[in-house]
A and B are shown apart, each in its own frame.
Chain A
Amino acid sequence: MIWGRRFCAIALVLGLAGNTFGQGLEQRVKAAYLVNFTRFISWPPAAIRGGEEAIDICVVGDRDIAIALSALIKSKSSNDLGIRSRLILLPEESEGCEVLYLADNSGELQRYWLQKLPQDHILTIADNGDFIDAGGMISFVIVSGKLRFDINQANIHRSGMSVSSRLLSLARTVRRSAAKGSS
């Protein structure tokens, strides 16, 4: 009986996994990572706009991730999390964003976005490994089929934020020196 039930549970999990694979597992995992990052980063008190406790995750250029994020936030209690997400098109729209995910891998565009950001205290995240050397803070990497990330701790500190050592311990690489080519 118990074995039967357990077998059913495993089948269910596998089935769901298969589904997510088909409909963009990578996007779902990345969305989860984006939410998780916010737990291990502290923003300076002034950065939280107008007393609003909520953290805004802004996604640039990937609609799927934005949808996955919305779904994730909705699936959990958004009140508990205090997280909102939106899809933006222009740097000017990033006003009030605490996390900015740049889905576009073009280095030029990324540099443009980094320069055009209206304020500090924005955690910038992208998919390409050289992003953190170009002034970005976190970049996703895929290592042997698993999603990992690199962190440029110096860039995070310079923006007035701090990162939890627990998050750092999970990173594949952590840059502690100032990145070259950063403004």
Chain B
Amino acid sequence: MLRDLPIQRKILVSIVGTVTVVLVMIETVFVLYNWISVRETVQKNLLAVAEVFSLNTTAAMSFSDSQAAEEILSSLRGMPEIHRACLYQGETKQAQLFASYVRGSDAKDCPLSLLDVKASKLQVLTVNRDVWLGSERLGRLVIERQLSDLWASTRLDIMLLLLMLLLSVGIAFVISNALQKLIAGPILALLDTTRKVSLSGDYSLRADKHGDDEVGELIDGFNVMLSHIATRDTDLARAKEELTLRIHQADAANTELRKAVEDLNRTQKQLVATEKMASLGGLVAGVAHEVNTPVGVSVTAASTLRAESIEAEQAYNEGKLTGSGLKHYFEHCMQSTEIILNNLRRAADLVHSFKQVAVDQTSFERRKFNLKSYFDETLLSLRPNLKNTQIAVEIDCEASLEANSVPGAISQIFTNLLMNSLMHAFPGGEAGRIRVVVTECDGDIEICYSDDGCGMDEEAREKIFEPFFTTKRGAGGSGLGMHIVFNLVSQQLKGQVEVLSAVGEGTEVRIRFPSGL
């Protein structure tokens, strides 16, 4: 409460408050002391009175003349404060009322037994005095005096002192009012300056110094601080300007960079698309070559059959056709047609699978398909690439395993992985083994593709999915194969791919994707 008062008010309150508290304490002590000392004096006087009256009533008591005793006591009438005097006869414990004096009608009668007499109270002062006859105690005189006069004078004292207090506080107020200007003036001026500075932001302003006390020091310090701030402000403004310039430059550079990155991305996408088409082209070439063989065989068989048939017809027309000759011709016919049929069937198979793979690779259509047969078909379409190698490809997949996914992506992934193995794992045409294990696990399909080729180092393994990363730049590697694999797995299959490999220990690629998208 006091903490939030203005400083002028604080000074005023502390001075006036101190004066008030001190004065109240002094006056309280004074009033108390006065009251006690006056009461003591009154008590002494009353004791003297009691002494006189106890002496005077001795005879009356010794002669049991209570009437006389009351007459003596009645002379207390001359002391108006004394409102009651009670004279008791007998031993203290059994003392009975002997004579009494009661002033006016407002005072109560004396209690009949001394034991019932009350001690002094705030309003009533009671003194006791034993009545002696020689060495014999006859009884006791109890005089009660009202303290109304003492209270009246005390009230007057308090009133006077309160008046004095008010006067003193008033004077203290006036003096402290004058003094607080001396103390609070410089502080307020300083405060005014700080306000001006913080409102206008003008740090060239300075506070005026009034004296060499602590406030003067404070003002000096404040002025020094202001100059520091002004210097710092200038520095800051300069730094800010520089920073703005830098930011502008950085922004411009950023825009250029962004444009470059966009270009790069576009180029990358184009390259990826080109690579896809290129791999498709490779596939087409392979398939064409593959189809060529059965068709060629068929053509040879058919031409042989035709030559044979012409020969047989000629013999028939000349009538030279013998039974054994005809039989020989029939055998030949059967053989040839069988060869032709077999090879044409094989060509039809190839065309069918190529059609399937080609359609899937370009369309990325989603459908439900059997994994085992799909892998077989894909492998069939890749057979030409394996023809001149000593590499065995093994597909381990449960025949009933199905997935609802994007088969085109899977065949392209498989193609890329296989081509990579051929190019990188067995670069010198070594004998090797490629194994594809397909399993289902918790609604996911896991394809584990592994070869036992030369493997790769850690650096290559870490960068394997980066576009254009290749260890065979000069030998025709585009650096996009594994990047395409990564894109296909993550975008088309919504799955994850990881590569485990070490130099000389083969390579393992694990692909995991949901079986039902």
Contacts and interface: CB of A to CB of B under 8 A. Distances in A.
Interface string B459-481: 00000000000000000000000
B59 A164 contact: yes
Closest 6 CB pairs of A and B: A166-B59, A36-B62, A170-B68, A80-B135, A167-B59, A170-B65
A113 interface: no
Contacts of B113: 6
Interface of B: 55-56, 58-60, 62-63, 65, 68, 71-72, 94, 113, 133-136
B150 to A, nearest CB: 32
Which residue, B58, B63, B65, B72, has most C-beta atoms of chain A within 10 A?
B63
Given A9-B94, A36-B63, A39-B62, A166 B134 contact: no
B247 to A, nearest CB: 105
Contacts of B134: 39, 80-81
A169 B65 CA distance: 10
11 contacts: A9-B94, A36-B62, A36-B133, A39-B134, A81-B136, A164-B59, A166-B55, A166-B59, A169-B56, A169-B59, A170-B65
B56 A80 contact: no
Given A9-B94, A170-B65, A76 B59 contact: no
A41 to B, nearest CB: 11
Given A39-B134, A80-B136, A169 B62 contact: no
Contacts of A40: 59
B82 to A, nearest CB: 20
Interface in A1-19: 6, 9
A81 B133 CA distance: 10
B484 to A, nearest CB: 119
B54 to A, nearest CB: 11
Contacts of B72: 169
Nearest to A36: B62
Given A80-B135, A169-B60, 8 more contacts: A36-B62, A39-B133, A76-B136, A169-B56, A169-B68, A169-B71, A169-B72, A170-B68
A170 B59 CA distance: 7
B60 A170 contact: yes
B163 to A, nearest CB: 51
Nearest to A35: B62
A50 to B, nearest CB: 22
A4 to B, nearest CB: 15
Given A36-B62, A36-B63, A39-B62, A166 B133 contact: no
A57 to B, nearest CB: 15
A103 B56 CA distance: 30
A170 B94 contact: no
Interface in A102-159: 148
A33 B56 CA distance: 17
Nearest to A76: B136
Contact of B58 (A6, A80, A81, A166): A166
A25 to B, nearest CB: 12
A113 to B, nearest CB: 25
Nearest to B58: A166
Interface string A52-83: 00000000000000000000000010001100
Contacts of A39: 58-59, 62, 133-134
Contacts of B135: 80
A1 to B, nearest CB: 14
A166 B94 contact: no
A148 B62 CA distance: 12
